[in-house]
Structure formats: C-alpha cells, structure tokens
C-alpha cells in the first residue's frame, strides 16, 4: 500500500510538473520530498516512543491468564492402524465439513529505516553469534549492554524503554531486516533472531533486559507484542495471526496475546500488563513458512527400509533446532511448509528412481506404501507425553511418528513429486489425506469443490488407495485445503 501511495503521488506530481523542468530535476525534487516524508515519520516514531514510555510508567493492570487451548489430540491406537482386507466395505463418498481456512489481511508493516553504511564506518565493533548454527555478524552498539533495569516496576520499565529509544536502534533494525531477507526468515524466525541478538548483547543474568529489548524492537518493526510481568520476571506477550495451542494467554480488546516464556505459569496466576498497543504495531506474528530458511547445514541422515531396500534421507539438524522452538499451531502451517532444499534433494535422489516409468496411480500407491511402512508408528502421548505436530523433516529426526505427521509428509511427497492436489482429512482423533487423481480409481473418496479426492491413509498400514478406516466411514471429515 505504501509503494502504491508513493506511485500515485509520483504520477500526480508528474502531471503538474512546471514547464521547463527536466526529468532529472523532477526526480531530484521527488527524492528530496520522499526523504522529508521519511524524516517526518522517524520524528513521529521518536515522539511515539516518548509518549509510550510515559504510558508504561502508569500502573499496569492485573489480568487472569486463560488456560491454554489444548492441541487437538490424534491418539489413534496402534491396533487400529492395521489394514484387514477381509473387512473391506463397498466404496463410499464420505461425509465432510469444510474447515475454515486460516485468513488474515496481509500488511505492509515495515518501513526500512534510513541507515548509513555501517560496515564502512571505521572502528565499528562487530557482534558475532550463531543463529541455529549459522554464523551472523552485525554491528555492536556498546550502549545496549549498558541498559539496566534496577527492578521491573512500571517506572523502571518506562525509563528503560526511553533509554532504548535513545540508542542507535534504527541502523540496528536496518541490519536485522536485511538479515531477515538474507536468511528467508518468517515472522517467528525473526523473533528468534531477536532472541539470539539479545543473548549476544546482554549478559546471561539480565533476562528482563533481554525481554524488554526484544519487545521494543518487535514494536518498532510493527508487531503486536506487549510486555507481561509476573513476580520478578518479564516476558513477551505475542499476538499471532493464527490459533496457537498449548500456551496460556491474555485476551485484550484486539485479541489473544500468548505468554512466551520458559517459566511455567499456572492458569490461576495473575499477570500484570497494559492495554495500549505501541503506535504502529499492527501485525500479529505469522507462523506460516512460505520459503525455506537459509540456514547453514548440520547434516544428519535417517535410514528407512521399505520393500527390501534401504533409503538414506538427509536433513538439517539446525532446522530441527529452529522447529523445536515453534509454538504448536494449526495443521496447515506444517503441511504447507516447503521442504528444505537438502531434504528435498535427498528425497529426489532416493525416491524418484522408484517412481520412474510408473503410472500416476502406481506412483501414488508407492509413496503411500513407503510412508505406511518405512516409519515406525507411535502416538505422541507415548513418545513425548503430549501431542506434538511435526514438520515434514521431523519425521526423519524422531524415532516414531503418528497419523498427522505421516499425512503431512505424504502430502508433501505427492504434491512435490507427482504434482497432484492434496487435502487433509481431519477427524476428531485422526488425520488422513485425499488426493485428486487425473484418472478414476475405485475407492472411498471425498468431494471437494465438485472434485473427487480419493482417500489415502498413510497410517492405515497396508491399506491401498481408496480405503478409509472402518471407524470413520460415517464420521464427517473436516477438509483442510493445502497450497
């Protein structure tokens, strides 16, 4: 929207250009105009920080924590996963419900700060750290390490916010946003980058200073984040663009803000915070991953055996470490996350030869059988003690997987290697998939937007295409469309 507005201003100004003014003169004038607007915005943001610091000095309110929304459990017992050809029924069109898609308004939240060429400045110290195994180098601003919170009462938080606003955070943000683009980071990974930066800037004992710095920087970048206080600890309260499970939260007028903390607070605990959002903080953290992260590779390999052949699949352990920080969220986030290039190339090397010369139906049947048989099955409750959804690469890292994890990997393989559309079939305690073939194949199916999707269940071990578990023949499958 900001680019469009500038374009309109440019066009309107062109129409009213004085006679005799050259194009070069016009663009010089326009550049001066744009710089003036940017300077005015920066002055506005500086005054916003001053006003916000004043607001933070007022008494914070006590809020009751809301209990976490539990992760929808998919505890399919192992004995129910074995296909029995003797119990096959006549193929049916299964009942379905449409699962509401995750939707939100895309927001252009970033205004890149005008920054000098920091690397060209002599004598500038550098900040060196590793971000999930990836070496990062940034400018080191000594003033940040001098930030101190004598206590976490309102007056000291307010004074610290004002102190942060007087630091050279604008060129610092410029570098952070450049790193975000360079490493293909989404919003959550950018938050993690700020966590790593705060760890590098502040001594380990200054946990509250780290939190306030992180919240300050996220607010400057336009994210809806507040600071929470409980006893002697500060922690971020983060608004997300989609539902988050397993995490306590506070409900404000503009939605839920989730407690992101290593401390475990009972739902009965009272948390102190404030209602006013920072001036230009309008976007929730988006957990969707649309591009593979560019992380250095710490290679690991996983061995699967299927049809008397061993498959060695490589994955990046650094990526698994980043995924391990993720809050639990909706299934489509996991299923729509693109495979990392190292894993994709490894799967292509191992699996594509087996798909060569196969028909579409044969290739689909092979991938279904591969996921059914190559990965040991175990419900999450038994492996972890809680429900945990996997990104596709995580199936190669952990020793066991269950139904939604297999459905996520299978949907990735089918879309990437055969090019067929896939939907998830979300049942109360099970997840399977539906695949839209180009040719007709007999079997149980669902109808989505007048298109026929044949059931493929990666957890129904031994089941061919078009076989739904008998327990779900009369249960509505909630359809989750994938990209």
pLDDT of residue 126: 85
Structural contact between residues 250 and 271, judged by C-beta atoms closer than 8 angstroms: yes
pLDDT at residue 102, rounded to an integer: 47
Instruction: Give the per-residue pLDDT at 23.
Output: 56
pLDDT at site 25: 58
Nearest Cα residue to 322 out of 236, 210, 195: 195
Give the pLDDT confidence of 313-338 residue by residue, as tens digits.
999 999 999 999 999 999 999 999 99
DSSP3 helix / strand / coil % (the chain, rounded to 5)? 40, 20, 40
Portion of the chain with pLDDT greater than 70, in percent: 83
Per-residue pLDDT band for 6 (boundaries 50, 70, 90) equals very low
Residue 305: pLDDT over 50: yes
CATH class of the domain comprising 78-102+297-481:
alpha beta
Residues in the chain: 483
Q: How large is the average pLDDT for residues 109-120? A: 40
Compute φ and ψ for 130, nearest 5 degrees: -115, 135
Residue 143 pLDDT > 70, yes or no? yes
Q: Which one is predicted more confidently, 227 or 85?
A: 227
For residues 170 and 473, give the distance between their C-alpha atoms in angstroms, rounded to a whole number: 58
pLDDT for position 100: 56
| Averaged pLDDT of the chain | 86
Radius of gyration over every alpha carbon of the chain, rounded to an integer in angstroms: 26
Measured CA to CA in angstroms, residue 257 lies from 214, 274, 292, 333 at distances of 16, 11, 27, 19
Residue 116 pLDDT exceeds 60 = no
Confidence (pLDDT) at 31: 55
d(CA 313, CA 298): 14
Q: Could you report the per-residue pLDDT of 94-112, keeping only the tens digit for each?
A: 999 865 554 444 444 433 4
Domain ranges for the chain? 2-53, 59-66+108-273, 78-102+297-481
Report the percent of the chain where pLDDT is more than 90: 71
Contact 265, 230 (CB under 8 A): yes
Closest CA to 178 of 235, 145, 221: 221
The helix (run of H) or strand (run of E) holding residue 13 is helix 2-15
| pLDDT for 205 | 92
CA distances from 188 to 107, 111, 224, 243, 257 (A): 16, 19, 13, 14, 14
Q: Which residue has the higher pLDDT, 52 or 40?
A: 52
- The answer to whether 227 and 283 have CB atoms below 8 angstroms apart is no
The pLDDT confidence band at residue 267, using thresholds 50, 70 and 90, is low
Cβ contact 424:331 at 8 Å: yes
Residue 26 has pLDDT above 80, yes or no: no
State the average pLDDT over residues 152-181.
93
Nearest-angstrom CA–CA distance, 401 and 390: 8
| Model confidence at 18: pLDDT above 60 | no
In the structure, what pLDDT confidence band is assigned to residue 407 with cuts at 50, 70 and 90?
very high
Handedness of CA 470, 472, 475, 476 (dihedral sign): negative
Residues 152, 154, 156: CA angle, nearest 5 degrees: 60
The answer, yes or no, to whether residue 416 has pLDDT greater than 70, is yes
Q: From residue 117, how far is each of 4, 175, 181, 290, 392 by CA, in Å?
A: 27, 10, 17, 30, 40
Q: For position 29, what pLDDT does the model report?
A: 55
Q: What number of other Cβ atoms are within 10 A of residue 50's Cβ?
A: 13
Q: Which of 165-174, 369-378, 417-426, 458-467 has the lowest mean pLDDT?
A: 165-174
**pLDDT score at 14:** 42
**70-85: average pLDDT:** 75
pLDDT of res. 200: 92
Beta strand 477-481 pairing with 421-427: antiparallel
Output the DSSP codes for 243-290. Answer: -EES--EEEETTEEEEE--SS---TT-EEEE--PPPTT--BPBP----
Residue 420 vs residue 89, higher pLDDT: 420
Residue appearing with tokens 């605990």: 269
């Amino acid at each position: 929207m900001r680019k469009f507005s500038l374009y309109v201003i440019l066009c309107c100004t062109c129409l009213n250009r004085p006679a005799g003014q050259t194009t070069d003169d016009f663009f010089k004038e326009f550049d001066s105009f744009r710089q003036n607007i940017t300077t005015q915005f920066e002055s506005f943001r500086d005054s916003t920080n001053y006003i916000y610091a004043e607001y933070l000095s007022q008494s914070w309110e006590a809020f009751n924590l809301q209990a976490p929304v539990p992760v929808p459990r998919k505890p399919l017992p192992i004995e129910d996963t074995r296909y029995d050809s003797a119990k096959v029924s006549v193929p049916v069109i299964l009942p379905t419900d449409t699962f509401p898609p995750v939707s939100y308004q895309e927001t252009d939240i970033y205004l890149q700060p005008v920054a000098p060429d920091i690397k060209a400045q002599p004598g500038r110290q550098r900040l060196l750290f590793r971000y999930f195994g990836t070496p990062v180098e940034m400018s080191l601003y000594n003033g940040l390490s001098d930030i101190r919170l004598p206590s976490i009462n309102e007056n000291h938080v307010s004074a610290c916010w004002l102190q942060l606003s007087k630091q050279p955070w604008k060129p610092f943000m410029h570098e952070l946003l450049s790193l975000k683009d360079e490493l293909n980071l989404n919003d959550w990974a950018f938050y993690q980058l700020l966590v790593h930066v705060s760890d590098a800037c502040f001594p380990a004992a200054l946990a509250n200073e780290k939190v306030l710095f992180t919240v300050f920087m996220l607010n400057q970048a336009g994210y809806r984040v507040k600071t929470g206080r409980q006893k002697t600890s500060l922690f971020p309260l983060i608004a997300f663009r989609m539902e988050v499970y397993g995490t306590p939260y506070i409900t404000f007028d503009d939605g839920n803000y989730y407690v992101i903390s290593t401390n475990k607070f009972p739902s009965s605990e009272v948390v102190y915070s404030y209602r006013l959002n920072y001036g230009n903080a309008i976007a929730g953290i988006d957990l969707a991953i649309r591009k593979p992260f560019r992380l250095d590779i710490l290679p690991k390999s996983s061995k699967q055996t299927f049809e008397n052949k061993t498959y060695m699949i490589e994955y990046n352990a650094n990526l698994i470490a980043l995924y391990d920080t993720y809050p639990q969220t909706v299934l489509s986030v996991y299923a729509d996350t693109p495979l990392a290039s190292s894993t994709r190339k490894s799967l292509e090397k191992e699996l594509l030869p087996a798909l060569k010369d196969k028909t579409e139906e044969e290739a689909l049947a092979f991938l279904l059988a591969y996921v059914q048989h190559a990965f040991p099955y175990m419900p999450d409750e038994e492996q972890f003690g809680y429900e945990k959804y996997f990104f596709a690469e995580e199936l190669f890292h952990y020793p066991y997987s269950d139904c939604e994890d297999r459905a996520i990997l299978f949907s990735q393989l089918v879309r990437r290697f055969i090019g067929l559309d896939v939907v998830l079939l979300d049942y109360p305690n099970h997840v399977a998939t539906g695949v839209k073939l180009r040719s007709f194949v007999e079997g149980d199916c669902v109808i989505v937007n007048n298109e026929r999707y044949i059931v493929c269940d990666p957890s129904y071990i031994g089941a061919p295409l078009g076989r739904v578990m008998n327990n779900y023949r009369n249960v509505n499958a909630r359809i989750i469309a994938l990209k």
